[in-house]
Amino acid sequence: MRPCGGRVPGFTLLIWMSVARLVCGYGLSEETKTVLLREAEFDVIYEDTVTSNNQTVYAFNYTLFRKMTEGLRVSVNVLSNVSHSPIQFVLRQRHSVMSFPVPLIIRGLTHEYSHVERTLCPPPTVNDSEEQSLFVDVWSLRSHSTQYQLRVSRVDNFTLENRSKCHKRHIVIIHVFQFFKYVFPDGVDRVIVKVISQMKFPCSVLSIQDIKCPVYDLDNNVDFTGMFQTITKLGAITVQRKDFPGNSFYVVVVVKSEDTVCGDSTDSSTMDTDRTKVLEVVVSPSPQSKARFKGAALDFLFKLQLYIFFFFFFFPGKSPASTHEYGRCGKKLTRSFICYFFIDAFMWLLSSTDLFRLSLYDLAPKDPEVLSKASLTYLWNIATIAVFYALPVLQLVITYQTFANVTGKQDICYYNFLCAYPLLGLSSFNNILSNLGYGLLGFLFLCIVFKRAITHRQALVCKDRNALVRKHLNFHIYYQLTRSIVSYIDTLQLVSSTWGVDV
């Protein structure tokens, strides 16, 4: 038992060791860790070195003018081979923070980019001019010095605007990433963003994103938000004003690290890591709804005129009835001709021993009303087939259209994006209008059957013997055949509205 008020030597030693470690540690940190703050300017290349003991912070100050969007681009080039211990760059703004290592590794360990250029997320527009600051922190965990180059510059024509009908901008994508801003002009509710290139490879991605920070402009996160489409030489996305509350959006172009998505089977290990592609971005207003519907109406009227001409040309109203085709009451045949005809036919049947004698009773042994009701079975059969054929198609279209709307992935669609006109929740409603002629073809067949039915009724009124054999059919078979054709064509039109979502 220790005496009251006695000291414990071990406890005292522990306190002195903690104090000594704290003092020595602070002294060592002050001697080895240094942070250098440098005032920097735009469009100036700063070349320096970094180690684990020294950190450099570059401060850029600039003025953001009233209702102006200014894009800043940071270019970094590491001159030393430091793949195992990269340099970390942290870009700090008032509204956002961005960080990335250099060399930048994308998609595993396949590609390393020692030269990286990133566009900063622009600050929101202000009503009055104000001062903005950008801080670039450079640090590393490597004990040996690493040489690098840093340059911050303003992006010329960062905002893409319409000039007359369209505004073109030639873009050289240097080392993977680039994006611009587009603002809807007054009176324009829908635009088409096209990307044109003379180079098929390297593979690239066109993305449309809302005005938010951060902007997803890397190969491994470009599909996180908005609409995106993989392109080689030509790509297009239709953008509607109603989808962007701020009446503006970002046009993001990313050069992918691998070309397998675009159909290239080249081994990724043998590909050049300098992924540069020359592109041309064209933003043009889409034709207005009135112009679209006017063209669709003219096309519909032209096709309808052809069918009406065909109908009245081949089925004139005053054509005489013939012995092979029953029709309205016309000139009756003479009794002598009918007698000679039936006598010759009867003698030929008597002389033939291997023919089955077919009478009218054999053709219509049942009541015509019973057969007429029985022919309604065709209606229910065709209706059942139409329902079970249309439901899976509708489910497929709705499922894939919803998937395209939620994920923004345009690669599942295979229609012509340059002519796509979204309407009624469909990505390309104009495909339905383009296939309207097939529906008119089924309608023409229905008119032909209907006219035949009227002619048949007139023949019954005239007591034409040629109409008796086909009386029990009552044209139900032909009507159901018409319904099957029309239902198939309508389903085809619905599927063609999103050709890429019916795979």
Query: Could you report the per-residue pLDDT of 274-294, keeping only the tens digit for each?
Result: 677 778 888 877 766 566 666
Q: List all residues 6 or more positions away from 284 whose beta carbon is below 8 Å from its beta carbon.
A: 162, 165, 166, 191, 192, 194
Residues sharing a CB contact under 8 Å with residue 445, sequence separation 6 or more, in sequence order: 481, 482, 485
Element (H, E) at 240: strand 234-240
SS3 388: helix
Pairing outcome for strands 111-113 and 115-119 = unpaired
User: What are the domain boundaries of the chain?
Assistant: 34-156, 159-286, 303-501
Kindly report which listed range (305-309, 312-316, 424-428) carries the lowest average pLDDT score: 312-316
Residue 497 has pLDDT above 50, yes or no: no
Residue keyed to tokens 């109603």 = 242
- For the segment 82-140, what is each residue's pLDDT rounded down to a tens digit? 667 788 888 888 888 888 888 877 765 566 777 888 888 887 776 777 788 888 888 88
Chain segment 311-361, per-residue pLDDT in tens: 666 555 544 445 444 444 554 444 444 454 455 555 555 555 555 555 665
Residues 178/253, Cβ–Cβ less than 8 Å:
yes
- Across 42-46, 228-232, 268-272, least confident range: 268-272
CATH number of this structure's domain 159-286, picked from the four choices 2.60.120.380, 2.40.30.10, 3.40.50.10490, 2.70.170.10: 2.60.120.380
Lowest mean pLDDT among 49-53, 75-79, 320-324, 452-456: 320-324
Average pLDDT over the chain reads 70
C-alpha dist (Å) from residue 482 to 6, 41, 309, 457: 110, 76, 20, 19
Q: Give just the sign of the alpha carbon dihedral 395, 401, 406, 410.
A: positive
Fold (CATH) for 34-156: Jelly Rolls (2.60.120)
- pTM to 2 decimals? 0.63
Strand partners, 74: 118, 152
Q: Say which DSSP state 409 is in.
A: B
Are the folds of 34-156 and 159-286 the same? yes
* Listed residue (104, 96, 102, 99) closest to 121, CA to CA: 96
